[in-house]
Amino acid sequence: MQTNPTHSSLVAVGDSFTEGMSDLMPDGSYRGWADLLAARMAARSPGFRYANLAVRGKLIGQIVDEQVGPAAAMGADVITLVGGLNDTLRPKCDMALVRDLLTQAVERLAPSCKQLVLMRSPGRQGPVLDRFRPRMEALFAIIDDLASLHGAVVVDLYGARSLADPRLWDVDRLHLTADGHRRVAEAVWQALGHEAEDPDWHAPIPATPPPGWITRRTTDVRFARQYLLPWIGRRLTGRSSGDGLLPKRPDLLPYEDIAP
């Protein structure tokens, strides 16, 4: 890996994780790790261009159908691909199909860019992670194999103890907070060969007193009402949170300052 490389363009492909949920901006839009990474890369490369094709709720098949082709055609220096985790969270998940679709994506994207970046997605501590851990780890094994075959970089967020901490996850328990996204941006930055700005991004965050019983129960009720029940409803009706949404940066255009 080249040390402190200069890249002229970045394309981000994926789902809500790459779209930037839940790093909410004052105008109601989402920022996220990919925007933060683009800001750093743009500071080193005049004329830097950036596209973010990610849309929340997308399964790997939808990512392949809707994002991979356009991303490959852009000819960017760096492409990030994070997908498949939404598939593993479905009641029924065909991991053989997930492998085939991820293989299609990587085989299309790797030759079209100078560096393809894949990730082992972070996992929040708790019963949900424990339930789906076998599928997630099967997904990560697929990612490792594909990276080895196609020269992609793998960023191991799953192994980062800081990103397993519930305090770095939003109240929906599915998406990282702003600080979580900042740490992911740092992880990818380092994986691309840049000098660390936060060498300890993966280290556990300092302990704080646990919330009391009433606070925990109030949080659980809010989570169930605002997030869990609507999520179950979408699963039962075949809908997605991303239905009808377009990518926030669909074209590879000169970067505009996103991060304050």
pLDDT in tens, 193-245: 999 999 999 999 887 666 666 655 666 556 556 655 555 555 555 656 666 78
CA distance readout (Å), 125 to 22, 70, 119, 173: 18, 35, 18, 10
- Quick one: tokens of 14? 């994926």
pTM for this entry: 0.88
Q: How far apart are the first and last CA of the chain?
A: 29
CA distance readout (Å), 78 to 11, 31, 115, 143, 212: 6, 19, 5, 17, 45
Low-confidence ranges of the chain (pLDDT < 70): 1-2, 128-129, 208-243, 257-260
- In whole angstroms, what is the distance from residue 243 CA to residue 245 CA? 6
Which pLDDT score, from 0 to 100, does residue 120 have? Answer: 97
Task: Quickly count helices (H) and strands (E) in the chain.
Answer: 11, 6
Residue 175 is given by DSSP the state: S
Which pLDDT score, from 0 to 100, does residue 1 have? Answer: 59
Which pLDDT score, from 0 to 100, does residue 215 have? Answer: 59
